[in-house]
Amino acid sequence: MSDQWPVILTAALGVAGTVVVAYTGVHGNRRQTTDQAAVEHEQWLRGQRQEAYVALLDAWDTAVSKLERTVDLWPEREEWLDSQGGEPYEMAITVEEDLVDARRGLSKPLDRAAILGPASVDAAVIAMDNAFDAASGYLNHQTNPDEPFERDWHSWPALMTLAHQARRQFTEASKLVLRTPPRPGGPWRVALRRTAR
């Protein structure tokens, strides 16, 4: 029997080694599959974000151009209303239509970019939304016959500067997000590790 111990010991070590290698292989493959799925999801999300961000920039430029066009047409519209004996509320209706038209194409792209995030882009989207609302509110205020009218439009350039700054903030935030490559584990795994501590 003492002659069989080396054979039995060698066989036992062989079986144990096989079990360890099999366990490591299965666990390693599972981790690799999980990491690969996370990277693929991050790449998909990155593509969705890129589409949403570009669509928002296009919609933003169009909407702001419509606001600027409303200001450019203001004197012409006023002259026409005066020559026709029009009432001040008619100008308010025309401007309101312009504002609704400008906002219509902007709302969904703002929402989509905010949904896709991340937080840095959310903050920039909120800044854009606030800047647009400020400019729209100003134009709306300009049509109100009960409020003082700014004949020199001295607040308008500051509002347009705010709008351009909001666009620039969004562009910088989105560039940072899109230029960060996906990595195994992704940001969700890092967040899980932080909360586990």
Which class is 42-196 in CATH? mainly alpha
CB 137 within 8 A of CB 162: no
Q: What pLDDT is recorded for position 128?
A: 93
This prediction has a pTM of 0.71
* pLDDT tens profile 42-97: 777 778 888 888 999 999 999 999 889 988 877 787 777 767 777 766 777 787 88
* Residue 42 identity (one-letter amino acid): E
> Quick one: pLDDT at residue 87?
72
For residue 166, what pLDDT is reported?
92
pLDDT at 11: 67
pLDDT at residue 152, as a whole number: 75
Q: How many CB atoms lie within 10 A of CB 91?
A: 19
Do 63 and 105 contact (CB within 8 A), yes or no?
yes
CA separation (Å) from 118 to 52, 60, 142, 191?
Answer: 12, 19, 36, 13
5-12 long-range contacts, CB within 8 A, separation 24+: none
Residues of the chain below pLDDT 70:
1-3, 5-13, 15-39, 41, 82, 88-89, 145, 148, 182-197
